[in-house]
Homo-oligomer: A and B are copies of this chain.
């Protein structure tokens, strides 16, 4: 029997001792003020037992992790029609993100890159009456935690500086794959990325993907086949240009965000979240990557 608490304690201790913690993202000005020494980790097993270490209760900006939740909401609403608007292949290429969009006629590679999440946002805006409120309630509902909220300052900060996202959105629109105004889509998209959660909250929200579509409160919000597919997309596309590396080193479906969070899961076993604001050169949390490698090495658990 694995002693998760002891493993998390060790991982947290090792992480806090690392001298090279990566670099805090500075392209969203509001994110650049965070203390780079923070490190938290939380693990929730299938039975609902929760293990934590370090700054696991401190909330941070989940950023791109929200893309999995946007995907989950839209997939549960429109099903496989989604795949007419966005693909399921890894983007692979560290360069040329806009060029790939150009060559592929405005169909983003997958829903976990910015362009794909922008298309998902566009669909949600078209389908929901009050998208900002309804998406927040969806996240609160599957987590069972009404205290989760947006961070307007971060959303505003990104809106003022996210020129590349504007470029992607306008390019998609030029191909007819965006139905709403770019301003409206990005307004919702930036807000959704500004969600603040702690590691503890993150493992609770991702419990649904680990537990075959059933939340902690036992409600079923997602079909099993949809859960499997979301997990497959996380594995192949969840870590920017480092998706292969993460599958190779860690071997779990997961998603990272430039706020320094990473969440990953072993289907039917556990989900785990880490937070450390310093990023590696590919934009993933440096200590978070190391922590998850250590976790799967020490436990011998991975999907492979």
Residues on A lying within 8 angstroms of B by beta carbon are 87-93, 95-103, 109-110, 163-164, 166-171, 173-174, 182, 224-225, 227-229, 231-233, 235-237, 241-245, 247-248, 251, 253, 267, 297, 300, 302-304
A227–B89 contact, CB under 8 A?
Answer: no
Q: Which residues of B contact A233 (CB under 8 A)?
A: 244, 247-248
Which residue of chain B has its CB nearest to the CB of A303? Answer: B303
Residues of chain B contacted by A182 (CB below 8 angstroms): 163, 166
Chain A interface helix/strand/loop/mixed: helix
A-B complex: 9 closest residue pairs judged by Cβ atoms = A92-B92, A99-B99, A163-B174, A167-B170, A89-B244, A231-B304, A166-B170, A167-B171, A232-B247
Q: How far is the CA of A130 from the CA of B166 in the complex (A)?
A: 27
How many of these chains are in the complex? 4
B170–A174 touching, CB < 8 Å: no
Inter-chain contacts of A98 with B (CB < 8 A): 98-99, 101-102, 167, 171
Which of A98, A167, A225 has the most C-beta atoms of chain B within 10 angstroms of its own C-beta?
Answer: A167
Give the residue of B89, B97, B248 whose beta carbon is less than 8 angstroms from that of A241: B89
Shortest beta-carbon distance, A237 to chain B, in Å? 7
A97 to B99, CA, bound (A): 8
Known A-B contacts: A92-B93, A167-B168, A167-B174. Give 18 more (CB < 8 A): A87-B244, A89-B92, A90-B236, A93-B93, A95-B99, A95-B103, A96-B99, A99-B99, A110-B244, A164-B171, A166-B167, A166-B182, A167-B170, A224-B300, A229-B304, A233-B248, A236-B243, A236-B247
